[in-house]
Amino acid sequence: MQNLKLPITISPSRSAQRRLVCKGVFKLADMTRLLAECESRSEHVQVSVKFDVDERGLTVMSGTGSALVALTCQRCNENFDQTLEVEFTFSPAKNEEAAEKIPSYYDVVELDENGEVNLRELVEEELMLMIPLIPRHNIQDCSADADSVWGELPEELEQPNPFDVLKQFK
């Protein structure tokens, strides 16, 4: 399969009129915000985007994206490979007023002053949302002990429960 380079910006309305389907790649090295959160394990992000017009006459962009990255396990602090996969469906809007008229089953993306969408930034943001809040290996793959205890409370903190006084009122 040949890796076709996708355009960075694209006009959703013109593409939807032609029922355009784009399949190709973006360089992962160009997604600096994503790489600030993880490390690259592949050269490209695979992307597929379909432009269409729905029954209400709205322009719709739907597609998928995937990239192989390395995350740091929060249990053992070692890197592990993770495939970030995303599916998205957007409808573009010129301004906030137009965005309010788009049904809730579509995510809204704002058009720039040229009526275009930055497709690379859109895919990058969606991939960033797929990074787990607390990245970690599967428990069987992690080198950290699953039942590890990180210390004990000092005895002066083990005080009697102040609500034990309420038991006297029964």
Q: What predicted TM-score, i.e. pTM, was given to this entire model?
A: 0.79
Give me the pLDDT at residue 86, please.
Answer: 96
State the alpha helices, DSSP H only, in the chain.
12-17, 32-35, 96-99, 119-129
Give me the pLDDT at residue 52, please.
Answer: 95
Give me the pLDDT at residue 150, please.
Answer: 57
User: Comparing C-alpha atoms, which of 42, 61, 156, 44 is closest to residue 102?
Assistant: 61
User: How far are the Cα atoms of 43, 111, 163, 164 from residue 170, in angstroms, in the given order?
Assistant: 69, 67, 13, 11
Rounded distance between C-alpha atoms, residue 67 and residue 39, angstroms: 11
Could you say which residues of the chain have pLDDT below 70?
A: 1-3, 146-158, 170
> What sign has the CA pseudo-torsion 98, 99, 104, 107?
positive
Give me the pLDDT at residue 1, please.
Answer: 44
User: Comparing C-alpha atoms, which of 22, 69, 65 is closest to residue 43?
Assistant: 69
